[in-house]
C-alpha cells in the first residue's frame, strides 16, 4: 500500500532516522545479513515511537485482523527484532522465513509483519527490492521496491520466504530505511524454529554451504536466547567486532 501514513509524518520519520554510524544500532552482521536495527524505546526518536505506537494500537490491530483474516492479533511492545532497520551500501538480507515463535513468549506464534519504508527518491539501480519467493525456493514470485511511505503487510509462516539478497548499490550517503512491527497470536504449543535462511538456485555450492552453516550457528544463538536469556545487544557487540575483520 502506497502513501500509507501522512506524508509529513513519514518525512519527519525519514529525516529523524539515526545516523548509521550511531552507537544506537544493533549490528545484525553475519553471513546471512548485513543490516542495522534499533528496538530500544529509550533510543528511538519521538516521531518513530508515535508511528510504532499507532501500529501497535487496538484500532490498527483490528484493521490487520480484518485485512489478514487472522483474529486476536497481538502486538509486541518489546519490538524484539523489529523497530528501526537500516541497510547501507553493500548490505543485504538473504532470503528467509522468519522465526516462528517469540523468543521470550513461548506461546506467541508469529503471524504478520508490517514494513514501512522511508526511502525518498529511491532509484531502481540502487536495488534493495523486497522479494517474495515460492515455498520450494525455485523462483522469486514478486518484487517490490522499498519506496517512500510504502507499506507491506504479509503473513509469516514456515514457508513465507522473503528478503533482499543482492547487496545494495546505493550511494555511500544513502541507506535503505524502514520501520518493522511484528504481530502474534496466542497458541498453546506453537511450532518453534529460528529464522530459516535458504540459498537461491543461482547462489552456487560454496555460498549455499555458507548460508546453511550460518543458519546452524543462528540455531544455537536462538537456543541461548530462549533458554539462557541471551540478548541481541551482547550479540551485537560480538558481531560488530567480527564484521571489522
Tens digits of per-residue pLDDT, 12-43? 999 999 999 998 899 999 999 999 999 999 99
Name the pTM for this structure: 0.91
Domain presence at residue 245: no
Tens digits of per-residue pLDDT, 125-137? 999 999 999 999 9
The total number of structural domains in the chain stands at 1
Boundaries of domain holding 56: 7-240
**Confidence at residue 219, expressed as pLDDT on a 0 to 100 scale:** 85
Confidence of residue 160 (pLDDT cuts 50, 70, 90): very high
- The answer to whether the CB of 223 falls within 8 A of the CB of 101 is no
**Confidence at residue 237, expressed as pLDDT on a 0 to 100 scale:** 56
Domain presence at residue 1: no
Domain presence at residue 87: yes
Domain presence at residue 232: yes
**Confidence at residue 235, expressed as pLDDT on a 0 to 100 scale:** 59
Tens digits of per-residue pLDDT, 142-151? 999 999 999 9
Confidence of residue 223 (pLDDT cuts 50, 70, 90): confident
Domain presence at residue 57: yes
**Confidence at residue 78, expressed as pLDDT on a 0 to 100 scale:** 92
Domain presence at residue 161: yes
Confidence of residue 69 (pLDDT cuts 50, 70, 90): very high
- The answer to whether the CB of 224 falls within 8 A of the CB of 101 is no
What's the maximum distance between 2 C-alpha atoms anywhere in the chain?
Answer: 47
Q: Cα–Cα distance between 84 and 73 in angstroms, integer?
A: 21
Domain presence at residue 2: no
Mean pLDDT across the stretch 135-162? 96
Domain presence at residue 176: yes
Mean pLDDT across the stretch 99-122? 95
Cβ partners under 8 Å of residue 197, min gap 6: 32, 94, 95, 96, 211, 212, 214, 215, 218
Q: In this structure, what CATH number is given to the domain that contains residue 162?
A: 2.60.120.620
Mean pLDDT of the chain: 92
Q: Is residue 149 exposed (0-12), middle (13-18) or buried (19+ Cβ within 10 Å)?
A: buried
Amino acid at each position: 500500500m502506497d502513501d500509507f501514513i501522512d506524508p509529513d509524518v513519514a518525512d519527519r520519520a525519514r529525516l529523524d532516522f539515526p545516523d548509521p554510524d550511531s552507537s544506537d544500532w544493533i549490528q545484525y552482521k553475519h553471513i546471512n545479513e548485513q543490516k542495522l536495527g534499533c528496538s530500544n524505546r529509550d533510543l528511538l526518536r519521538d516521531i518513530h515511537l508515535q508511528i510504532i505506537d499507532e501500529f501497535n494500537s487496538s484500532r490498527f490491530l483490528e484493521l490487520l485482523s480484518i485485512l489478514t483474516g487472522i483474529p486476536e492479533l497481538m502486538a509486541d511492545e518489546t519490538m524484539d527484532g523489529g523497530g528501526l532497520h537500516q541497510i547501507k551500501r553493500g548490505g543485504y538480507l538473504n532470503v528467509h522465513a522468519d522465526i516462528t515463535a517469540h523468543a521470550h513468549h513461548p506461546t506467541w506464534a508469529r503471524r504478520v509483519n508490517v514494513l514501512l519504508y522511508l526511502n525518498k527518491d529511491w532509484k531502481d539501480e540502487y536495488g534493495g527490492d523486497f522479494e517474495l519467493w515460492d515455498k520450494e525456493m525455485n523462483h522469486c514470485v514478486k518484487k517490490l521496491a522499498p519506496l517512500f511511505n510504502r507499506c507491506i503487510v504479509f503473513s509469516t509462516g514456515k514457508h513465507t520466504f522473503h528478503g533482499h539478497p543482492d547487496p545494495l548499490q546505493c550511494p555511500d550517503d544513502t541507506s535503505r530505511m524502514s520501520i518493522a512491527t511484528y504481530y502474534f497470536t496466542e497458541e498453546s504449543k506453537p511450532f518453534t524454529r529460528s529464522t530459516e535462511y535458504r540459498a537461491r538456485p543461482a547462489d552456487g555450492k560454496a555460498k549455499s554451504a555458507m548460508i546453511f552453516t550460518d543458519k546452524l550457528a543462528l540455531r544455537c544463538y536462538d537456543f541461548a536466547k530462549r533458554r539462557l536469556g541471551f540478548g541481541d545487544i551482547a550479540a551485537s557487540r560480538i558481531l560488530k567486532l567480527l564484521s571489522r575483520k
